[in-house]
Structure 1
Amino acid sequence: MLKAKALKAGDQIGVITPSSPAPVLFKERYQRGLIQLEEMGFTIVEGKCSREIQSYRSSSIGTRAEEINEFIYNKDIKAIISTIGGLNSNSLLPYIDYEYLKRNPKVIMGYSDVTALLLAIYAKTGLTTFYGPAIIPSFGEFPKMLAKGREYFEDIVLLKKKAPFALDVPLEWTEERLEWETQSREKEMVKNEGWKTLREGIAVGTLIGGNLDTMSGIIGSEYFPNLKGAILFLEDTSKNMALEERLLSMLKVNGVFDDIAGLIIGKHEHFNDLKSPFSLDELLLEVIGDTNIPILSNVDIGHTFPSHVFPIGIKVKLNATKGIITFLEDGVVKDKVE
């Protein structure tokens, strides 16, 4: 496995916009996100797509791919973080310079639609990537980034917490959606009911996963990782029960549930159950069938806040019986110069 160096104060972070033109649409929140990172000690280098807009996307496929490659080639850039997700990061996968990145590893982070980039880079290079905060929704939160979200970020990529360690369950969480252009108060936090055991058991494996809907755009391709023996994590946002049945069944018919050693399901932001007489957890068990793997659901990862940072590619232990996720190794390495 390949790992980037841990980030430290003074490092340069390249900011990419691989899909949605959100920096143009939500300028104030975008700037707040940049300021947040600067206050944490980083130097920000904006990508050329941060000021572009082409309807649903920031720029052309070629330009968006160039934006990423330019940061990959720039040895002063120690991390690449996405502004937000969208729907079309998978368009860029054939044009990323994986071989150069393999020789010059750096932190690559984002979530949601950026799943396509994170999984493709891991599959093609073996580099650990990071399912974690994005500039606009996470670092740009009003009036500032959630303290727990910042803690989880710094624990993982600044190596403030060394493996092995068990993840904590945040006391509070939120999925409240406020209009970004007019938001004038903090989101309302609610009590976290904790993580839920769907199937008991203990498994150790490689942590791989991301946004379930985004996976539909790359599964079966050379950009989708081998999941044999993996601890798979899945999360989604704003879907309904019918769509989730289709997406979970996509994994089923591709043999995913037969390959993996364990399953982690994140909280689903703004889920529509379509008045179904069963829950999403019950649907998951119905789709999986008799496959006997440990399953933990309602985990704080993805679109709800605060969310843990999951390094794709590290070894983890899933104890679904006790509701514990333990990171067995770090996602980054300490710079020997320090």
Structure 2
Amino acid sequence: MFQPLEKGDTVGVFSPSKPASVMAFERYVRGKERLQSLGLKVKEGILTGKEDHYRSGTPKERAEELNALLLDQEVKMIMPSMGGTNANSILPYIDYEAFRKNPKIIVGLSDVTAILLALYRKTGIPVFYGPSVASTLGEFPPLIDDTMHYFQEMFMEKQKTPYIVPMPEQWSDEKVNWLEKTIEKKLYRNKWICVQKGIAQGRLVGGNVNTMYGTIGTEYFPIIEEGDLLLIEDTTKTAAIVEKNFAMLKLHGILDKVSGIILGKHEQYDDLGTGRKPYEILLEQLDGRDIPILADFDSCHTHPLHSMPLGRQVELNATEKKVILVENWF
């Protein structure tokens, strides 16, 4: 299908939503330089350096940028510069057949969930919930060091399955120095939370739950099967919106089918004075359904970040707070 990256390989960068190379230039450059520090070449998409207010271009222009990278034989990995909120508008114009004929490593998070899940639904080729160039790889030390280590283990080394996903020692969701470093971030001691005990293994599906709202129930959203594992996370939402989004999953029957849930950390969550955690709101929607749930997992908007292979078998041991990749992802 595709092979791990080697030094000298090319990473194509596209801008499916926000114009990160303009609005977050310093952070974008740092992320690009980090890729180059691994010996990788960076090929920028045609919308690099361009902006149309809140987006990098029209839906067709953004799809054209992605399609060009999908067709480029030199490009081995495709990564977004950043997410945003309207990647779903390019889905009708993506060249899915190009991806099917020439599979590449496709990675991204947040709004890019729409593109990842659409590519997987149309082709069955695994995709990766993971970093963006600016928002993730443009982060400052020390947490970026862990993210880069995890990136190399996932994409540049021989696979070692079963692979037990390591829990980072520290994490942060502060944005005090998002563009240019001014003061040190506050770091927190890490802890994954067993919400409901148990062990489950299944095909991993999911991503950013707010983005799913824009494609669920369409031909661009995977058909959830009995026994799937669900990975979900979100950023800067209130308890009210979290409830709405979890209820959406319930109303579509997804929470009745999955065998377990991995809930990522919620960046800058606002509980609206309720004191309720996202996993407590999730439990309300499960109506007592007893499936393993692990919360505050580090595949999300916070730092550091683990990449996760969507469409591959993963084991969740919520009791022991372990996530294990049991199937080769390449």
TM-score range, shorter chain: over 0.9
Residue correspondence of structure 1 range 152-171 to structure 2 within 5 A: 152-171=150-169
Residue correspondence of structure 1 range 14-25 to structure 2 within 5 A: 14-25=12-23
Residue correspondence of structure 1 range 1-338 to structure 2 within 5 A: 3-142=1-140, 146-192=144-190, 194-228=191-225, 229-332=227-330
C-alpha contact 1:138 1:145 (8 A) present in aligned 2: no
Question: CA distance change for structure 1 residues 186 and 146 in 2, over 3 Å: closer, same or farther?
Answer: farther
* Identity level (%): 42
Alpha-carbon distance in structure 1 between the residues aligned to 2:290 and 2:109: 28
Q: Deviations over 1:277-306 (max 9, x none)?
A: 533222111111132211111111110111
Which residue identity does 1:132 align to in structure 2?
G
Q: Deviations over 1:76-132 (max 9, x none)?
A: 110100000000111111111111211110001110000001111111111111111
Per mean C-alpha deviation after superposition, the further-off stretch among 182-191 and 220-229 is 182-191
Alpha-carbon distance in structure 2 between the residues aligned to 1:280 and 1:239: 10
Shift of 1:151: 1.1
Alpha-carbon distance in structure 2 between the residues aligned to 1:328 and 1:45: 32
Question: CA distance change for structure 1 residues 287 and 184 in 2, over 3 Å: closer, same or farther?
Answer: same
Per mean C-alpha deviation after superposition, the further-off stretch among 161-170 and 300-309 is 161-170
C-alpha contact 1:149 1:308 (8 A) present in aligned 2: yes
Alpha-carbon distance in structure 2 between the residues aligned to 1:277 and 1:304: 20
Q: Deviations over 1:20-41 (max 9, x none)?
A: 0121012121111111111110
Alpha-carbon distance in structure 1 between the residues aligned to 2:324 and 2:107: 21
Which residue identity does 1:201 align to in structure 2?
G
Give secondary structure in 1 for the equivalent of 2:131: coil
C-alpha contact 1:20 1:85 (8 A) present in aligned 2: yes
Shift of 1:144: 7.9
Per mean C-alpha deviation after superposition, the further-off stretch among 214-223 and 177-186 is 177-186
TM-score by length of 1: 0.94
Shift of 1:161: 4.5
C-alpha contact 2:143 2:303 (8 A) present in aligned 1: no
Q: What residue ranges of structure 2 are gaps of 5+ in the alignment?
A: none
Residue of structure 2 in register with 1:335 after alignment: none
C-alpha contact 2:139 2:178 (8 A) present in aligned 1: no
Alpha-carbon distance in structure 1 between the residues aligned to 2:12 and 2:325: 27
Which residue identity does 1:120 align to in structure 2?
A
C-alpha contact 2:4 2:157 (8 A) present in aligned 1: yes
Q: What residue ranges of structure 1 are gaps of 5+ in the alignment?
A: 333-338
Could you say what the CA RMSD is over the residues aligned between the two structures, in angstroms?
Answer: 1.4
Q: Deviations over 1:224-268 (max 9, x none)?
A: 112212110000000000001110000001000111111000010
Give secondary structure in 2 for the equivalent of 1:138: coil
C-alpha contact 2:294 2:321 (8 A) present in aligned 1: yes
Alpha-carbon distance in structure 2 between the residues aligned to 1:182 and 1:158: 29
Per mean C-alpha deviation after superposition, the further-off stretch among 150-159 and 115-124 is 150-159
Give secondary structure in 2 for the equivalent of 1:285: helix
C-alpha contact 1:311 1:331 (8 A) present in aligned 2: yes
Per mean C-alpha deviation after superposition, the further-off stretch among 266-275 and 226-235 is 226-235
Which residue identity does 2:248 align to in structure 1?
M
